[in-house]
Amino acid sequence: MPISVGHDTSKTRKTLTVGDQSVAYYSIAAAEEAGLGDFSKLPAALKVVLENMLRFEDGNTVTTDDIKAFAEWATKGGKNPREIAYRPARVLLQDFTGVPAVVDLAAMRDAIINLGGDADKINPLNPVDLVIDHSVMIDEFGNPRAFQMNVDREYERNMERYTFLKWGQKAFRNFRVVPPGTGICHQVNLEYLSQTVWTDTDQNGHEVAYPDTLVGTDSHTTMVNGAAVLGWGVGGIEAEAAMLGQPISMLIPEVVGFELTGQMVEGTTGTDLVLKVVEMLRQKGVVGKFVEFFGTGLDNLPLADRATIANMAPEYGATCGFFPIDAETLRYLRNTGRDEDRIALVEAYARENGFWRGADYAPVYTDTLHLDMGTIVPAISGPKRPQDYIALTSAHTAFAEYIEGVRSGEDASPTAEIRWEGEGGHPEPEDIPGDEGHHKRGYVPTDDGHYQLHDGSIVIASITSCTNTSNPYVMIGAGLVARKARELGLTRKPWVKTSLAPGSQVVSAYLEAAGLQEDLDAIGFNLVGYGCTTCIGNSGPLEPAISKAINDYDLIGTSVLSGNRNFEGRISPDVRANYLASPPLVVAYALVGDMNVDLANGVLGQDKNGNDVYLKDIWPSSKEISDLVDKTVTRESFQEKYADVFKGDDKWQDVETTDSKTYNWPPTSTYVQNPPYFKDMGSEPGTISNIEGARVLAVLGDMITTDHISPAGSFKDSTPAGQYLIERQVPVREFNSYGSRRGNHEVMMRGTFANIRIKNEMLDGVEGGYTKGPDGKQTSIYEAAMAYQDQGTPLVIFGGEQYGAGSSRDWAAKGTALLGVKAVIAENFERIHRSNLVGMGVIPFEFTGGDTRKSLGLTGEESVNIKGLDSIKPLQEVPCEITMADGSVKEIMLKCRIDTAIEIEYIEHGGVLHYVLRNLAKAA
């Protein structure tokens, strides 16, 4: 479908000739010549947004004043928060968030027919790619059958979803699906889909070049910023609006410059670098801002490392972490199989339009930080947050301090005995020094062949996630650690569940070419699938004996993974402490099986001759790694693996579906149901009403993530979601995960605020999704919300700092709305979740004047009135009356986080999809 861009007669539209190519483009230099301002000092990341304004200038949604505002940004010290309408070139989905997005589109087709419109109007206007990567679960591991058995189980569990997605691929234009078993969406995007400079045909049939941009329904869409492709995560609701041609309303962001100098030293990895960057930027505070990396250090930083840093932008809180186009960008595009004509266009366009990072690159930034990469040391992060950086030399003592905090007042660290069958042998007796008689730790084999699990036993070690498996330097490094360990006779401890889940098939190609997959297999890191797995909670069940021991003895089991998220309750319901680490360190930790061990300097085990083995004995040199990367990571392997990326295997090709404009919703499906968002929807919007007599559903603390609000992982039969499935004769073995059932609002409503680690401060020391119902008795949050709905009582949520951090999970907002919550009041919000709440018609508010849930003494017994909403303006402060349990009334002021004028319209319509649907229904 031709793109809709500015007119051919625009003063900023020019022609660029590269070899035999001749393309139109929108020139920033021409905008300067036209008197629109001086843009020469803008960061490259912001120039991408400026080009978007030039291309879509229409005097209505984008005006000349919008363009001039970018010049003012540079003269005002990197600040000019003007509202703009931004249109990304394309949209990226994964199946956990993509299925509900396609469900919504299918529901919109039904709804537009009910409004007298045409179903064909509900089609993506921008290219949409959905990569099925979130559904594979690690049921089988540590053997050659693991990959195929996990794939087979994936299809058994998810056939309803896959049938639905295949229907969507046929029914909707501009919509492609990358089948299961191909790779992780962000890695497929980085290695294949992205082009850095995009081209398309305009409405007049002319070829136009412009920066490759996108939004995605996964927060780690930011990964592709490592290749100078501007992208970030949005909620599924906002992505659906973008698919349907609705511009994204945003403020011109601040841009923090992060200067990198020096180069990495021997023994360190890109993962170590990014964990330090995450710590520094979280301390700085960059929520809602762009971060752009610059400095001479980029000359020594491979794009694979850049992509790792960009991937973790959500972890440091930024909208994105951007790297400008330079020679390394071109090298990566060439090595990953991009067309030579495209590479030539990328260079010519970047140089011509001011996007190139050369020696003279010196833009204005809002603020700056500096890091000498020569100071980086091996590190991990945990046990609960990505920003909790720990140098490897301090990891064991930091863990001991964590345990002391958890076990404060107890006499000893709990242990539990487990009998092991099969190979593995007995570890040698070892005591880690500690206070005499208190918290002694170590694996002590008993006479009858039992082993003790204890606080710190590593029960999961997983090389997983696009964050690091996209980086051949750390993957080859992990393989070499495995090879050296194997040669010395070391292997994983038998209680460690090991897995290898790369982000693309290319990883397997170069590991096999280097002969390293055999070494990884030998110590338990067999291929388990191409997908997100452990990083999103699809770690699969632990051995029953391990799970029972952990739960019977209340042990703090641990995981080590090469992912980007380690929030409480995310990785496994049996694991409480989670650590992020480079793939080579994941392998090393699997060898010792214990977080109490000093991995940096302590003994890892004994070799075949009984000699002590240390980390330095199995750690490869930088030259060993780079030599193998140069030899095995080839342009040809990328071209081969991506040649039939949309075809899929025989299982995918055998999925049968129907040809129809609207979806025939199976009434018995427990995976896909027609959502109630558009039920009884009229043709005209409503108005925003004051909130009166609202009750409190939950009082929550700081850093409540979207995982806390809407978990992605497994759930038990005792939960409301589990009971719903049991009532429909779904056996526990077939429950799958919350994430896989996001196409069914009934499951997801019941799973909202149901994370096993969430703590509602209305209750005393209770973990999990509980609250007080209208009768004052403890019950599940879902049951309480339904009881309040029956009474017609509106609900509010109170929270602390960084409310909604983490994944761009639309169900965290959808579930909140469907429970009847009208407002969320917190100290501050993470960007994506705030937008999602507005998109679902839920109003976010922030405390002002130093008020917090704690300073107000909130217990959840209060009732709440919020006034001034019937005449609300963006970012307006409004009065809130809180009637306390004793009848006294406190009046405070709240800042309404409806940030822009268009968002007011969204709330009036009941949400952004309602807004888009009504407009499409009215269009001729």
Q: Give the count of beta carbons closer than 10 Å to the beta carbon of residue 64.
A: 14
CATH code, 808 = 3.20.19.10
Reduce the DSSP state of residue 766 to 3 states and report it.
Answer: coil
Nearest CA to 721 out of 695, 742, 692, 700 is that of 742
Q: Give the count of beta carbons closer than 10 Å to the beta carbon of residue 782.
A: 24
C-alpha dist (Å) from residue 320 to 213, 307, 830: 12, 11, 13
What does the block give as tokens for 874?
A: 């963006």
Average pLDDT, the chain: 91
Q: Give the count of beta carbons closer than 10 Å to the beta carbon of residue 165.
A: 26
> Is 681 a member of any domain?
no
Region 771-786: what's the mean pLDDT? 97
Q: Contacts by 4-10 with C-beta closer than 8 Å and gap 24+? A: 4/56, 4/202, 4/203, 5/55, 5/56, 5/202, 5/203, 5/208, 5/210, 6/54, 6/55, 6/56, 6/57, 6/58, 8/204, 8/206, 10/54, 10/57
Spatial distance between the Cα atoms of 206 and 106, rounded to a whole number of angstroms: 33
What pLDDT score was predicted for residue 460? 96
Q: What is the DSSP string of 832-881?
A: HHHHHHHHTTPEEEEE-TT--TTTTT--S--EEEE-SGGG--TT-EEEEE
The DSSP bridge partners found for residue 23 are 16
User: With bands split at pLDDT 50, 70 and 90, how would you rate the model's confidence at 436?
Assistant: very low
Using an 8 Å Cβ cutoff, are 462 and 559 in contact? Answer: yes
Q: Clarify whether residues 403 and 368 are in a common domain.
A: no
Q: Clarify whether residues 475 and 593 are in a common domain.
A: yes
What pLDDT score was predicted for residue 418? 63
Region 527-551: what's the mean pLDDT? 89
> Is 368 a member of any domain?
yes
With 90 as the cut, is the pLDDT of residue 840 above it? yes
What pLDDT score was predicted for residue 342? 97
Which carries the bigger pLDDT value, residue 443 or residue 514?
514
> Is 650 a member of any domain?
no
What does the block give as tokens for 829?
A: 């919000």
User: With bands split at pLDDT 50, 70 and 90, how would you rate the model's confidence at 575?
Assistant: very high
Q: Clarify whether residues 367 and 403 are in a common domain.
A: no
pLDDT tens across 455-470, in order?
Answer: 999 999 999 998 899 9
Using an 8 Å Cβ cutoff, are 316 and 291 in contact? Answer: yes
What does the block give as tokens for 256?
A: 């923090």
What does the block give as tokens for 373?
A: 């990469």
What does the block give as tokens for 479?
A: 């393989």
Which carries the bigger pLDDT value, residue 417 or residue 341?
341
With 70 as the cut, is the pLDDT of residue 5 above it? no
With 80 as the cut, is the pLDDT of residue 441 above it? no
The dihedral built from the CA positions of residue 558, 563, 564 and 567, taken in this order, carries a sign that is negative
- Half-sphere exposure (Cβ direction) of 692: Cα atoms closer than 13 Å: 5
> Is 67 a member of any domain?
no
Any idea of the CA torsion for 916, 921, 923, 924, to the nearest 10 degrees? 160
Spatial distance between the Cα atoms of 313 and 535, rounded to a whole number of angstroms: 16
Residue for token pair 């031709």: 2
With 70 as the cut, is the pLDDT of residue 9 above it? no
What pTM does this model have? Answer: 0.85
Q: Clarify whether residues 267 and 308 are in a common domain.
A: yes
What does the block give as tokens for 789?
A: 């709905």
Single-letter residue type at 921: A
With 90 as the cut, is the pLDDT of residue 261 above it? yes
Spatial distance between the Cα atoms of 639 and 622, rounded to a whole number of angstroms: 27
Using an 8 Å Cβ cutoff, are 209 and 198 in contact? Answer: yes
> Is 722 a member of any domain?
no
Q: Give the count of beta carbons closer than 10 Å to the beta carbon of residue 299.
A: 14
Task: Return the H-helix or E-strand segment holding 46.
Answer: helix 44-56
Strands 207-211 vs 197-201: parallel, antiparallel or unpaired: antiparallel
Spatial distance between the Cα atoms of 282 and 274, rounded to a whole number of angstroms: 12
Q: Clarify whether residues 838 and 895 are in a common domain.
A: yes
With 70 as the cut, is the pLDDT of residue 613 above it? yes
What pLDDT score was predicted for residue 7? 60
With 80 as the cut, is the pLDDT of residue 839 above it? yes
What pLDDT score was predicted for residue 431? 40
Q: How many helices (H) and strands (E) does the chain have?
A: 31, 34
What does the block give as tokens for 657?
A: 């579906």
C-alpha dist (Å) from residue 751 to 23, 134, 714: 50, 18, 10
> Is 316 a member of any domain?
yes
Q: Clarify whether residues 354 and 422 are in a common domain.
A: no
Q: Clarify whether residues 106 and 144 are in a common domain.
A: yes
Q: Give the count of beta carbons closer than 10 Å to the beta carbon of residue 344.
A: 15
Strands 290-294 vs 320-322: parallel, antiparallel or unpaired: parallel
pLDDT tens across 360-397, in order?
Answer: 999 999 999 999 999 999 999 999 999 999 999 999 99
For the chain, give the percent of residues with pLDDT over 70: 94
Region 506-521: what's the mean pLDDT? 97
With 60 as the cut, is the pLDDT of residue 449 above it? no
Region 61-72: what's the mean pLDDT? 95
Nearest CA to 241 out of 835, 850, 889 is that of 835
Backbone angles phi, psi at 688, to 5 degrees: -90, 125
What pLDDT score was predicted for residue 34? 95
> Is 2 a member of any domain?
no
Final residue belonging to a domain, choices 566, 598, 633: 633
At a CB cut-off of 8 Å and minimum separation 6, what does 396 contact?
Answer: 432, 595, 596, 597, 598, 599, 602
Spatial distance between the Cα atoms of 464 and 325, rounded to a whole number of angstroms: 28
User: With bands split at pLDDT 50, 70 and 90, how would you rate the model's confidence at 412?
Assistant: very low
What does the block give as tokens for 631?
A: 């030899």
Spatial distance between the Cα atoms of 735 and 776, rounded to a whole number of angstroms: 31
Backbone angles phi, psi at 309, to 5 degrees: -65, -45
Query: How many folded domains does the chain comprise?
Result: 3
Spatial distance between the Cα atoms of 65 and 33, rounded to a whole number of angstroms: 16
What pLDDT score was predicted for residue 417? 60
User: With bands split at pLDDT 50, 70 and 90, how would you rate the model's confidence at 237?
Assistant: confident
Region 274-295: what's the mean pLDDT? 96
Q: Clarify whether residues 313 and 422 are in a common domain.
A: no
Region 619-634: what's the mean pLDDT? 96
Q: What is the DSSP string of 603-659?
A: EEEE-TTS-EEEHHHHPPPHHHHHHHHHHH--HHHHHHHTTTTTT--HHHHT-----
Region 777-793: what's the mean pLDDT? 97
Nearest CA to 655 out of 162, 178, 175 is that of 162
What pLDDT score was predicted for residue 525? 97
Q: Clarify whether residues 200 and 253 are in a common domain.
A: yes
Which carries the bigger pLDDT value, residue 831 or residue 321?
321
C-alpha dist (Å) from residue 76 to 52, 73, 364, 875: 21, 5, 10, 22
At a CB cut-off of 8 Å and minimum separation 6, what does 904 contact?
Answer: 688, 872, 873, 874, 898
Q: Clarify whether residues 412 and 365 are in a common domain.
A: no
With 80 as the cut, is the pLDDT of residue 410 above it? no
Q: Is the peptide bond before 383 cis (omega within 30 degrees of 0)?
A: yes
User: With bands split at pLDDT 50, 70 and 90, how would you rate the model's confidence at 432?
Assistant: very low
Domain that holds residue 892: 691-711+756-922
When mean pLDDT is compared across 218-222, 725-729, 780-784, 830-834, the lowest value belongs to 830-834
Spatial distance between the Cα atoms of 870 and 847, rounded to a whole number of angstroms: 20
Strands 497-500 vs 458-463: parallel, antiparallel or unpaired: parallel
C-alpha dist (Å) from residue 749 to 259, 642, 721, 744, 754: 44, 38, 8, 9, 9
Using an 8 Å Cβ cutoff, are 83 and 250 in contact? Answer: yes
Q: Clarify whether residues 344 and 456 are in a common domain.
A: no
Beta strands (DSSP E) in 359-438 are 367-372, 379-381, 389-391, 415-419
HEC sequence for 124-186: CCCCEEEECCCCCCCCCCCCCCHHHHHHHHHHHHHHHHHHHHHHHHHHCCCEEEECCCCECHH
What does the block give as tokens for 60?
A: 């209505």
CATH code, 293 = 3.30.499.10
With 80 as the cut, is the pLDDT of residue 329 above it? yes
With 90 as the cut, is the pLDDT of residue 234 above it? no
- Tell me 557's DSSP state: E
| Cβ burial 355-386 (10 Å sphere, 16+ → b, else e) | bbbeeebebbbbbebebebeebebbbbbbbbb
With 50 as the cut, is the pLDDT of residue 549 above it? yes
With 90 as the cut, is the pLDDT of residue 97 above it? no
What pLDDT score was predicted for residue 557? 95
Distance of CA 566 to the CA centre of its chain: 12
Spatial distance between the Cα atoms of 54 and 141, rounded to a whole number of angstroms: 52
pLDDT tens across 103-155, in order?
Answer: 999 999 999 999 999 999 999 989 999 999 988 889 999 999 999 999 999 99
Q: Clarify whether residues 454 and 553 are in a common domain.
A: yes
Final residue belonging to a domain, choices 584, 609, 633: 633
What does the block give as tokens for 105?
A: 């589109």
Spatial distance between the Cα atoms of 315 and 371, rounded to a whole number of angstroms: 18
pLDDT tens across 243-259, in order?
Answer: 988 898 889 999 999 99
> Is 486 a member of any domain?
yes
Final residue belonging to a domain, choices 312, 340, 375: 375
Using an 8 Å Cβ cutoff, are 27 and 351 in contact? Answer: no
Instruction: Look at the chain and count its residues.
Output: 924
